[in-house]
Amino acid sequence: MRALIQRVGEARVTVGAETIGAISRGLLILLGVAASDGEREAEFLARRIAALRILADDAGKMNRSVVDAKGGALVVSQFTLCADLTRGNRPGFSYAARPEQAEALYGYFCDQLASHGVPIACGRFGADMQVGLVNDGPVTIWMDTAELMQPGAS
């Protein structure tokens, strides 16, 4: 499971003219689900993101988690994070989970993140979405469970 996490002052996702999810201060999480992912990866990633200290404290240091800062998270599914770029100029998506698996794990990840005390807003799985954000910092972090869950990784 891969997540591109952006610290935001605000973020929203629209489908057509309808805003379907929005947050003020917090995290925009673009989430890619690989075919090899399961609930274990979703639980691990949700726990790590909930504890990730990238929001500013009173001194302006990255020292607060989204939970500490009472922020929210906007989670948007993005299968293109699982792109294979090893051949040619057109990305392949054979590593991405099939839609049924990806949608279930996307929902499970959102539930897990919420269980850590993070207010959640979501995109619409499989929809053509427009995402707007005010990137705060900018701060952008990449997390990949294939790397983070290896033996010896902290």
Instruction: Determine which one of 14, 19, 80, 112 is catalytic.
Output: 80
Could you confirm whether 78 is annotated as catalytic? yes
Beta bridge partners of residue 122, listed in sequence order: 75
Q: Are 35 and 28 in contact (CB under 8 A)?
A: no
Could you confirm whether 80 is annotated as catalytic? yes
Instruction: Determine which one of 6, 78, 112, 145 is catalytic.
Output: 78
99-115 and 39-51 helices, crossing angle to 10°: 40
Q: Residue 107 is inside which H or E element, if any?
A: helix 99-115
Instruction: Determine which one of 6, 44, 79, 101 is catalytic.
Output: 79
Q: Are 7 and 27 in contact (CB under 8 A)?
A: yes
Instruction: Give the separation between CA 2 and CA 146, rounded to whole angstroms.
Output: 8
Catalogue the active-site residues: 78-80
